[in-house]
Amino acid sequence: MNFSAKEFLSGGSRIYKKNFVKLLGINLLILLLLLALFALISMIIGVTMINSYNGFENDLYATPDLPASTIILIILFAVLCAIFAPVLYAGYSLIYIKLARGENTGFLDIFSGFSNFWHIWLTQYFTGILMLGGVLLFMLPIFIVFIISVGVDLINSLPWMLLLYGNSSIPFYSYSGSLYLYFLILCIVSFVAFIYWALKFMFTTFAAVDKKFKTAEAIFYGSQITNSYKWKIFLAVLLPVIIYSLVSILSGYVFGDESWPALIIRFLFGLFIYAPWLSSVLGEIYNKLSSNYDNTTTDNTEKQITTADAGIENERPSFYEEKKYDTTGSYTFSIDEKKFSFDQDDENDTVEDVGDDDII
C-alpha cells in the first residue's frame, strides 16, 4: 500500500482534533510536573547558595563563586535529564501510537518506556551517533575537495605572496577566494544530510517502545519502515513546523525576542498546540508504515514458505507414487517404469514392466 503526505497529515490532524481534550489534560499534567520539578530544584540550589554569601552581608554587589555543592547538583540534574528524557519521550510517543490505533491510553503511558528502559535509552543515543556519522560522511567529500583546492591555491600563489608581503604574515583570505563558497556548500550539505538521516531514523525510538525491541532490532526496524517515504514524511510534518515558526517570529516581533511574554507564548503554544499536533501526525505515520511493513513482511514470508513447500513437492523422486489400495486388500505402486503388485497373503506378488505386457 502506498501512502501520501496528505494522508499522513490529515490522519494525524484528525486524531489531534478528536482527542483534543484528552491531550490537553495530559499536557497540562506534564506542565504541572515540570513546574513542580523546577520549583524543587530551584529551592535546593537556592539553599546551597545561601552559605556562599556568608561574609558578604554588607556588600550589595558581591558575586561569590558558586559553591561546589551547587555545581554538583546542577551536573546531577543534567545527567538525570540525559538518562530519563529519552525514555519519557518514548512513553509520550506511545500515547499517540495508541490513539492512531484507536486504543485506550492515558497519562500513565508516559512511564511505559521504563519496561524496556535500557534498550530505549541505547536506541536513542546510538541513533544520534549514526546520524552524526551519516552527516560527517556526507561532508567528507567537500572537506577533501576544499583541502585540495586550498592547497593548490596556496602553492600557486605562495611566491607572489612572499614577494608582496615579505616576511610578514600572509593574510588567510589571500590564498582561497572560494572559501566562503565552500563554507556555504558545506552548510547546505550538512543541513540536507541531517534532514535525510533524521527522517530515516525518526521512528527507531517508537519501535523500541511499541514493539519492545532490543536496540539493534529497533534501529533496523525504524530505518526500514521509512524506506521510500522520507520525502512524504518531510512534507507531512512541514505544516506544523511552519506554523510554530510563524508564531515564534510574530511573538518575538511584537514583544521582543527575549521578552517574557514572547517566551511564554512560545512555550504554551508549543506545549498545548504544536507538540500534540506534531506528535499525532508522527503517531499516524508510524502506525501506517509499521502496519504496512509488518503485512508486507508477513506476505513475503508466507510466499517463501509456499514456494519452499512447492519445491519439496516438485523435488520428489520420479518413482514416487501413493499406494493404491483395492477392495481385496492388495495394493500397487510404481517405481520408474515398473509396477509392483502385492496382496495380503504374499501369494500373487508380481512386478510388471509398464511399457510391456510381460510379467517378470
pLDDT digits (tens, 9 = 90+) for 90-106: 999 999 999 999 999 99
How many other C-beta atoms can be found within 10 angstroms of the C-beta atom of residue 97? 22
Q: What residues have CB less than 8 Å from 213, skipping those under 6 apart?
A: 116, 119, 123, 207, 221
- What CA–CA distance (Å, rounded) separates 146 from 178? 9
Question: Mean of the per-residue pLDDT values for the chain?
Answer: 81
- CA distances in angstroms from 174 to 143, 151, 311, 324, listed in the order given: 19, 12, 72, 96
- What CA–CA distance (Å, rounded) separates 139 from 193? 8
How many other C-beta atoms can be found within 10 angstroms of the C-beta atom of residue 298? 10
Q: What is the largest CA-CA distance in the chain?
A: 129
Grid cell at residue 303:
510466499
- What CA–CA distance (Å, rounded) separates 118 from 194? 25
Q: What is the pTM of this model?
A: 0.74
More confident residue, 150 or 92: 92
Res. 271 pLDDT band, cuts 50 70 90: very high
CB 190 within 8 A of CB 135: yes
The pLDDT assigned to 298 comes to 74
Grid cell at residue 244:
510554530
Q: Cell 528502559 identifies what position?
A: 117
221, with CB counted inside 10 A (0-12, 13-18, 19+), is buried
Reference 331, options 346, 319, 320; nearest CA is 346
Is 60 exceeded by the pLDDT of residue 284? Answer: yes
224, with CB counted inside 10 A (0-12, 13-18, 19+), is middle
- What CA–CA distance (Å, rounded) separates 311 from 68? 73
CB 233 within 8 A of CB 202: yes
Is 70 exceeded by the pLDDT of residue 159? Answer: no
CB 208 within 8 A of CB 215: yes
Grid cell at residue 202:
525518526
CA angle 307, 313, 314 (to 5 degrees): 85
CB 282 within 8 A of CB 93: yes
Q: Average pLDDT in the 279-301 region?
A: 89
Res. 214 pLDDT band, cuts 50 70 90: very high
